[in-house]
Amino acid sequence: MGAARKTKTDKTPGKNKTNTRTAREKPQVVFVGWVKPGINRWLSCLNSTYSKQILAKKHQQKGEPNKFPKGVCAMKFDNRIKEADQMLREILAMRPLSKHALKQLKEYYRIGLTYSSNALEGNSLTESETKVVLEDGITIGGKPLKDHFEAIGHSEAFDLLYKLARQQTITERHILDLHKLFYFRIDAKQAGHYRKVGVVITGSTLALPRPQEIKKLMRDFAADVEAKRAGTHPIEFAALLHIGLVSIHPFIDGNGRTARLLMNLALLQAGYPITIIPPVLRPDYIDTLKATNTGDNKPFINLLSCMVCESQRDYIRLLKNLDEG
């Protein structure tokens, strides 16, 4: 008997196209603009206890039954830098990549990083909605206009991130430009400029620098970047850049997203793929950052090393699938 067919009609206004495909037909692996899988699908393709811990934590947060063995939901972030080094060697052996593969991967991570980084800050757009906004230019009904601006702005900052990754330097101007692209649709006067007012972090007792201190702190921060890079493992270096920027909190808003872009810039320059922090790990992410307020950077470095490893696993999977395509 012939394979059963499923018919899906595109209901987008102005389109009368019917997309028919065979149920048994093997799906193509990655398209330009293909939606990065949701957290469940993304993690289910990774065969590690750590990934199961994240899924178990998500079920626990949503009040759902734990699908994994007892005790798996207890999150533990070990230092996995050695494992990341090993996977980096595997990734480097698979390069150089074709132009086609590079384009596929860039669009894959554009959606994934934009969605996850914005979601960590409370943006209400889902991953699929982020894709629609960025690729189709369609607004999502009932969602705040600011959430759309954040998605578009982050996507443009992502393009700059890729350009800067070709260099081996990180300057104060790079940081300002990343923030400007992300934020100018929200507040053009504040985009790419240091804040002129005092701010507080909700839920934190940390006293942030006063506005008049920021310029000097950022000059010193940028001046110390290359010396710090020279004597530090790339993952630790990326973590320290993130920690340093959020501790100064130089902008009126968008500090976390700029810090994650800066973190990824350091990783890309060292040969690592884009590293994503899943929104489901927001409490752990916040807790490890809070620990840095007292000078304990180890928990955040460990968490980042785990994020790098899981992102590397995803990257290797994609490369292998692209190679088979």
Residue 203 pLDDT grade (very low, low, confident, very high; cuts 50, 70, 90): confident
Distance CA 275, CA 63 (A): 28
Closest Cα partner for 297 from 247, 239, 246? Answer: 239
Instruction: Look at residue 248 in the predicted model and tell me its pLDDT.
Output: 97
Are 148 and 142 a contacting pair, CB within 8 Å? Answer: no
The residues annotated with a catalytic role in the active site are: 249
Query: Which residue type is seen at 198?
Result: G
Q: Which string of b and e fits 261-278 if b means at least 16 CB within 10 Å?
A: bbbbbbbbbbebbbbbbb
Instruction: Look at residue 304 in the predicted model and tell me its pLDDT.
Output: 98
Q: Which domain holds residue 274?
A: 30-107+195-324
Question: Does residue 160 belong to any structural domain of this protein?
Answer: no
Task: Provide the mean pLDDT of the chain.
Answer: 84
Question: Does residue 179 belong to any structural domain of this protein?
Answer: no
Number of domains within the chain:
1
Instruction: Look at residue 5 in the predicted model and tell me its pLDDT.
Output: 41
Instruction: Look at residue 72 in the predicted model and tell me its pLDDT.
Output: 38
**Neighbouring-strand partners of residue 7:** 20
Instruction: Look up residue 217 and give its two tokens.
Output: 């702190």
pLDDT > 70 in the chain, percent: 76
Question: Does residue 266 belong to any structural domain of this protein?
Answer: yes
CATH of the domain at 97: 1.10.3290
Are 305 and 88 a contacting pair, CB within 8 Å? Answer: no
Question: Does residue 73 belong to any structural domain of this protein?
Answer: yes
Q: What is the pLDDT of residues 281-305, one digit of tens each?
A: 999 999 999 999 999 999 999 999 9
Question: Does residue 120 belong to any structural domain of this protein?
Answer: no
Question: Does residue 225 belong to any structural domain of this protein?
Answer: yes
Provide the 3-class DSSP secondary structure of residue 291: helix
Q: Which string of b and e fits 232-244 if b means at least 16 CB within 10 Å?
A: eebbbbbbbbbbb
Instruction: Look at residue 104 in the predicted model and tell me its pLDDT.
Output: 95
How distant is the alpha carbon of residue 257 from its chain centre? 9
37 vs 185: which has the higher pLDDT: 185
Question: Does residue 279 belong to any structural domain of this protein?
Answer: yes
> Structure pTM?
0.81
Q: What is the pLDDT of residues 129-183, one digit of tens each?
A: 999 999 999 999 999 999 999 999 999 999 999 999 999 999 999 999 999 999 9
For the cut 90, the answer to whether the pLDDT of residue 260 exceeds it is yes
187 vs 200: which has the higher pLDDT: 187
For the cut 50, the answer to whether the pLDDT of residue 27 exceeds it is no
Closest Cα partner for 289 from 245, 320, 252, 243? Answer: 243
Instruction: Look at residue 63 in the predicted model and tell me its pLDDT.
Output: 63
Question: Does residue 206 belong to any structural domain of this protein?
Answer: yes
Residue 202 pLDDT grade (very low, low, confident, very high; cuts 50, 70, 90): confident
